[in-house]
Amino acid sequence: MANKNLHLTVKKENKMKYILTVLLFLSIPSSVLAYEKAEEVLWACTADSTESPEKGFEKIHCIGYVTGILDGIQLVFGVRPESKFFCPPTSGMSVDQQIRIVTKWLEDNPKELHKGARMSVLIAYAKAFPCN
């Protein structure tokens, strides 16, 4: 009987940890999770991670953001090939190459920095890898 009670206690503790984790995640402002403007992406992706921990965090966030957009759109292209509007290399790209593509396009197009972050990242990829 003691073993059964121990099992129930562990389940309750795991459930409580799960609930607390979800509540913590929901309490994070959306601005922390995503960029709204292209200028924010440029700032984060060009941050010198050796200057401070905050800039290091921004650089890491940039990497996750930029690579996540590419991963997400490639899933869409896989399910709906007719929606493909750019053709990334089939051999893949390094994280460094992805960041360079995005930052170069943003730096070369300063008049676009007030526009949406996601669309700007997608345009950077589309300009770098047009489908023939």
Same domain, 76 and 43: yes
- Residue 51 and residue 78 in one domain: yes
Residue-number span of the structural domain to which 68 is assigned: 34-128
Q: Looking at residue 68, which CATH number applies to its domain? A: 1.10.890
Please count the residues of the chain.
132
* Torsion of the alpha carbons at 68, 73, 76 and 78, rounded to the nearest 10: -90
Does one domain contain both 27 and 41? no
CA–CA distance, 79 with 9 (Å, rounded to integer): 43
Please tell me whether residues 26 and 90 are part of one structural domain.
no
Per residue in 12-50, pLDDT (tens digit) is 566 666 565 555 545 444 444 578 999 999 999 999 888
Q: Are 87 and 11 in contact (CB under 8 A)?
A: no
Residues 4 and 67 in one domain: no
Side chain identity at residue 101, one-letter code: I
Contacts 24+ apart (CB under 8 A), 86-90: 86/122, 86/125, 86/126, 86/128, 86/129, 86/130, 86/131, 87/129, 87/130, 87/131, 87/132, 88/125, 88/129, 89/129
Instruction: Render pLDDT for 78-120 as a digit per residue (tens, 0 to 9).
Output: 888 888 999 999 899 999 999 999 999 999 999 999 999 999 9
3-state DSSP assignment of residue 90: coil
pTM flag (> 0.85): no
